[in-house]
Amino acid sequence: MKTLLFLAALALSPAEGQVTSLINPLTVDRVGKAETFFGRGQYSEALDVAQAALEGKLTWGRQARAYWLLGKSHEALGSLDKALSVYQVAVKLYPRDPGLLVALGDLFRKVGLDDRAMPQYQAALKADPDNATAHTALGGILTEQGLFPAATPHFKAALSRKPKDLDAMLGLGRSLAGEGKLEEAEATLGAGLKAGGDVDMRVGLAEVLKRRGKGPEAIEQLRLASLETKRADVRLRYAAWLLSAGRVEEGAGVLRLHIQEAPEDALARYLLGLEELRGGQKAFALKGFQAAADQDQSPFLREIARATLNLSSPHPGRGQGEGIK
Amino acid sequence: MKALLLCLLLGVPGLARGQESPVLSQDDILREFFWDRFQQLPRTERPRLALVLSGGGARALAHVGVLEALVRQGFDFDIVAGTSMGSMVGALYASGMSPSEIRDLTPKMNLAQRKIMTPTTMFGLMFAGSLISSDPIQEFVTKVLGNKRFDQLKRPFGCVATDLRTGEKIVFREGEVAPAVRSSMNLPGLLAPMEYRHRLLVDGGVVDYVPVDVAQMLGAQWILSSLTEGEITRQEIDNVFLTLQQVIDIRGSLLAQNLLRQSDIVVKPAAGHIGTFDFEKADEAIRLGVIAGRLAAPKAKEDLALKTLPAVLKAWQAR
């Protein structure tokens, strides 16, 4: 009799949750469990549990969440193709679930398919006009396309929902800068830095300060940024800005330091070569130019280096330029 | 789907971007460095930059977007030349208007709104064979620019029209701007030819779709052309306007090829699907122009860096 009642209860039980777990401990809130694993970074476990949850009965909302966790776990484990399949199925089942639409959009964006990502974010915003993540992502795509006046309202909408969202603040700063609203951009990026913005916020601020003609302040921000990160691009840019501003000793110092750590860095050697050429150390300069001309990672650098070599060649027969002394 | 799978198979090149903050490449940094150097050069040491704008009707409003993107990147053109709608956009820019000011005016460039293509005029055209007057174009330009002459514009500007009697290309570089722009936009078969200084003038696009040679006449040393070709592969060409549009587009494509070889950089907004008369798609055309201009800017900067390298190095050493 007891067994019969148990089976009847099981058949009539709600899809999942506390009540279910009272009846059958094996079907405890698996989605919640997957969530916990995911939050801890245990993606394989999250994946298994989410998969198992989807095989059982779930309410619609929980099922959508389970798909989301499954897709995100696949992504975290590097299986983007599997994540894509999961999201595509899920979005067909839940075409108005903003979380899934944003996840699919993010995946498209991750692989560089912004044109495929855009409709997902737009659909997410149609379902939930206040979705801050979708606003920020859409603003990001529009910014990359140069459509700044269209991007700015999205970042503002995101910030109205999440005033301390650093991604949205950075996006807004860049978008305003793109629109030419430099004062506003400076204020936004400055506020972003105060709110805990990372090196990109500082680089963004440096770019705006430079455009506003505040050269020394811009360089100082880039100096600070180069201390906050090990990214070569930030350090090389700092050196290039110093050289451009006529602070050649400092610029050359940064480049020499960088070359000690990365002796094969062609851009550093080219820029240092320019400074050496100016300082009369032509033999050193030519070596730097040659190194940049021989690499094939950066086509523009190669072309410029070759042209520079031609112009500064000691052998007029080999060079075609004006023979820079 | 195929593209996505390809990306996945190729190791996901986009992983460095997306929501991650951009990491500049070495070429990006060097381009910025040389662009700074280029802008520091005295005007006399820089080549004279020209902007050449093709025809294309409503589609050519993409030029506004191209211009907007390039100006934001720091480009400042010394010379402007245009044909047809390109002459309208070009004249406004040459007068000193900013791209955003021109953008604000685009709704008023709509032929329907300018009372050119109205039910009455179209009825007259279809049933009485009476071509439509292009007076409203001239009125619009006059309203915006006043009775400005070419030599009163802030940048040297030229535009082209076609003499219907002789087939000659007529280059406007002097005189009043408004009638020149009007004649350059005078679409044959739709708008009535314009009698001007003993010439019977129609759209310049008939003989010169992208007036690179006009920019050269005006002293250009580096030319960026914006070309808004129409898609000439169409399934249905079933009325007089589509036929007219198709003839103009085919002719434009043919004419563009040779002249484009003389451009240093060619920008082609992906606006080919927008028809000559699709003025309701003006915003889309501008948006596509912005995207194309933004994509073309790095290449244009690199080209200028290479072409001004001797001057830049000389100035660098003299510091």
Chain B residues within an 8 Å CB radius of A109: 14, 18-19
For residues A26 and A10, give the distance between their C-alpha atoms in angstroms, rounded to a whole number.
12
Q: What is the pLDDT of residue A12?
A: 37
Q: With CB atoms and an 8 Å threshold, state whether B17 touches A270.
A: no
B17 touches chain A (CB under 8 A): yes
Q: Chain B residue with minimal CA distance to A297?
A: B26
For residues A228 and A230, give the distance between their C-alpha atoms in angstroms, rounded to a whole number.
7
For residues B84 and B186, give the distance between their C-alpha atoms in angstroms, rounded to a whole number.
7
- Is residue B213 annotated as part of the catalytic site, yes or no? no
Q: What is the pLDDT of residue B4?
A: 52
A77-81 long-range Cβ contacts below 8 angstroms, 24+ apart: A77/A43, A77/A44, A77/A47, A80/A107, A80/A110, A80/A111, A80/B8, A80/B12, A81/B5, A81/B8
Q: What's the 3-state SS for chain B?
A: CHHHHHHHHCCCHHHHCCCCCCCCCHHHHHHHHHHHHHHHCCHHHCCCEEEEECCCHHHHHHHHHHHHHHHHCCCCCCEEEEECHHHHHHHHHHCCCCHHHHHHHHHHHCCCCCCCCCHHHHHHHHHHCCCECCHHHHHHHHHHHCCCEHHHCCCCEEEEEEECCCCCEEEECCCEHHHHHHHHCCCCCCECCEEECCEEEEEHHHCCCCCHHHHHHCCCCEEEEECCCCCCCCCCCCCHHHHHHHHHHHHHHHHHHHHHCCCCEEECCCCCCCCCCCHHHHHHHHHHHHHHHHHHHHHHHHHHHHHCHHHHHHHHHHC
Residue of A217, A237, A235, A216 whose CA lies nearest to A226 = A235
Residue A12 gets the label, from left (phi > 0), alpha (psi -120 to 50) or beta, of alpha
Q: With CB atoms and an 8 Å threshold, state whether A243 touches B33.
A: yes
With beta carbons less than 8 A apart as the criterion, state whether B96 and B124 touch.
no
For residues A215 and A222, give the distance between their C-alpha atoms in angstroms, rounded to a whole number.
11
Shortest CA gap A207–chain B (Å): 11
Q: What is the pLDDT of residue A267?
A: 97
For chain B, the C-alpha Rg in angstroms (whole number) is 21
Q: With CB atoms and an 8 Å threshold, state whether B19 touches A180.
A: no
| A181, containing H or E segment | none
| pTM for this model (two decimals) | 0.84
B126 touches chain A (CB under 8 A): no
Residue A16 DSSP class:
S
* Residue position matching structure tokens 């036929």: B243
For residues A111 and B20, give the distance between their C-alpha atoms in angstroms, rounded to a whole number.
12
Assign B197 a pLDDT band (cuts: 50, 70, 90).
Answer: confident
Least confident interval from A11-25, A300-314, B41-55, B114-128: A11-25
User: Which of B18, B28, B72 faces A180 most closely, judged by CB atoms?
Assistant: B72
Q: Is the pLDDT of residue B255 over 90?
A: no
Chain B residues within an 8 Å CB radius of A300: 27, 30-31, 302, 305
Q: What is the pLDDT of residue A19?
A: 36
The full DSSP string for A143-177 is HHTT-HHHHHHHHHHHHHH-TT-HHHHHHHHHHHH
For residues B82 and B75, give the distance between their C-alpha atoms in angstroms, rounded to a whole number.
18
User: Which of B23, B287, B310 faces A147 most closely, judged by CB atoms?
Assistant: B287
Q: With CB atoms and an 8 Å threshold, state whether B306 touches A307.
A: yes
Beta partners for residue B172, in sequence order: B159
Q: What is the pLDDT of residue A315?
A: 60
Backbone angles phi, psi at A160, to 5 degrees: -70, -25
- Is residue B84 annotated as part of the catalytic site, yes or no? yes
Q: What is the pLDDT of residue B113?
A: 56
Residue A251 DSSP class:
H
With beta carbons less than 8 A apart as the criterion, state whether B162 and B170 touch.
yes
Q: What is the pLDDT of residue B5?
A: 52
Interface of B with A in 31-90 (CB under 8 A): 31-34, 36-37, 69, 72
Shortest CA gap A81–chain B (Å): 7
Widest CA span in chain B: 72
For residues A194 and A282, give the distance between their C-alpha atoms in angstroms, rounded to a whole number.
45
Write the CATH number of the domain with boundaries A1-131. 1.25.40.10
Chain A residues within an 8 Å CB radius of B41: none
Q: With CB atoms and an 8 Å threshold, state whether B27 touches A298.
A: yes
Chain B residues within an 8 Å CB radius of A293: none
Query: Which is the catalytic residue, given B84, B95, B184, B263?
Result: B84
Pairing of β B222-226 and β B169-172: unpaired
pLDDT in tens, B279-292: 899 999 999 999 99
pLDDT in tens, B59-88: 999 999 999 999 999 999 999 999 999 999
Pairing of β B157-163 and β B199-203: antiparallel
Q: How many CA atoms lie within 13 A of A98 on its CB side?
A: 14
For residues B286 and A243, give the distance between their C-alpha atoms in angstroms, rounded to a whole number.
38
Determine how many CB atoms are found less than 10 A away from the CB of residue A18. Answer: 9
Which CATH architecture does the domain made up of A143-149+158-229 adopt? Alpha Horseshoe (1.25)
With beta carbons less than 8 A apart as the criterion, state whether B183 and B161 touch.
yes
Assign B114 a pLDDT band (cuts: 50, 70, 90).
Answer: low
Shortest CA gap B100–chain A (Å): 10
Q: With CB atoms and an 8 Å threshold, state whether B32 touches A240.
A: yes
B98 touches chain A (CB under 8 A): no
Token pair listed for A118? 């855009």
Contacts of A162 (CB under 8 A, 6+ apart): A132, A168
Backbone angles phi, psi at B25, to 5 degrees: -80, 170
pLDDT tens by residue, chain A, 325 residues: 444 444 443 443 334 333 333 434 444 588 889 989 999 999 999 989 998 888 888 887 788 999 999 999 999 999 999 999 999 999 999 999 999 999 999 999 999 899 999 999 999 999 999 999 999 999 999 999 999 999 999 999 999 999 999 999 999 999 999 999 999 999 999 999 999 999 999 999 999 999 999 999 999 999 999 999 989 999 999 999 999 999 999 999 999 999 999 999 999 999 999 999 999 899 999 999 999 999 999 999 999 999 999 998 766 444 444 444 4
Backbone angles phi, psi at B202, to 5 degrees: -130, 180
Q: Is the pLDDT of residue B101 over 50?
A: yes
Shortest CA gap B99–chain A (Å): 12
Rounded percentage of chain B residues whose pLDDT exceeds 70: 90
For residues B261 and B264, give the distance between their C-alpha atoms in angstroms, rounded to a whole number.
8
Q: With CB atoms and an 8 Å threshold, state whether B25 touches A298.
A: yes
For residues B82 and A67, give the distance between their C-alpha atoms in angstroms, rounded to a whole number.
55
Q: With CB atoms and an 8 Å threshold, state whether A81 touches B319.
A: no
User: Which of A198, A298, A311 faces B313 most closely, judged by CB atoms?
Assistant: A311
- First and final C-alpha spacing in chain B: 54
Mutate to test the interface with B, among A304, A308, A320, A324 (most CBs of B within 10 A): A304
Query: Which is the catalytic residue, given B54, B87, B163, B203?
Result: B203
With beta carbons less than 8 A apart as the criterion, state whether B62 and B292 touch.
yes
Cα–chain-centroid distance for residue B55?
7
Determine how many CB atoms are found less than 10 A away from the CB of residue B246. Answer: 17
Chain B residues within an 8 Å CB radius of A112: 7, 13-14, 17-18
